[in-house]
Amino acid sequence: MLFSLTGASGAGKSTVLAHLETVDWGTPVHCVEFDSIGVPDDADTAWRHGAIEHWAQQALAAQADGAHVLLCGQVPMGELLAAPSADRLEGIAVCLLHCSPEVRSERLLQRGEDPGAIMHHNRFGDWFRAHTIDPTHAPEVIRVSSDVPMQWSRWADARPGDPQWRAEIVDTDSLTPAQTARLVEAWVRGELESRRHAASGIAGLT
């Protein structure tokens, strides 16, 4: 199974990942950072398509060994579901961390981000949340030409509330990093438990 902890810059992903890497899940869960494969200076949406497919393939390799992957990075749900190898995964679960433009601006300034770039981060953050709620919201942002055979048709007809378009959304504005980490940990544990129950039910029918 592939867990995607996602969101735009400043939402709190890296802080949460540091906590999740220390958790005993009771089953193998490999926590990885999206950018750990290296990000070229000219990285764009088309490059991200290839990187997402890379991580989908890594999750498939882990799945073959009875393990899961928790991927932390800026991965829009539409791109993840359209990755060529995504339909071979036993499951995909998405958790979006989101914050307001005001909080994002403050966090990015404290991080040393170029003030001139913060407006773009905020615009992407607003789009990210809207996209996660509604698959019909400005899909052209991610549906660009690339060398990766993305399967956009998998969700082309999806609408808000579609079972395949499901995500946990955590607003981190008023949360401490520790509180956010605990919420995400609870989300992962809940998804793992649901998967165990589903597997037990299937086994009971055979």
Ramachandran area for residue 26 (φ above 0: left; ψ -120 to 50: alpha; else beta): left
Query: What is residue 198's predicted lDDT score, i.e. its pLDDT?
Result: 77
Which numeric CATH code is attached to 2-205?
3.40.50.300
pLDDT at site 115: 95
Q: What is the pLDDT of residue 202?
A: 57
**Local structure of residue 194 (DSSP, 8 states):** H
Residues in the chain predicted with pLDDT less than 70, given as ranges, are 201-206
DSSP readout, 40-77? -TT--HHHHHHHHHHHHHHHHHHHHTT-EEEEES---H
Domain-wise residue ranges, the chain:
2-205
Residue 36: per-residue pLDDT: 95
Q: Are 13 and 125 a contacting pair, CB within 8 Å? A: no
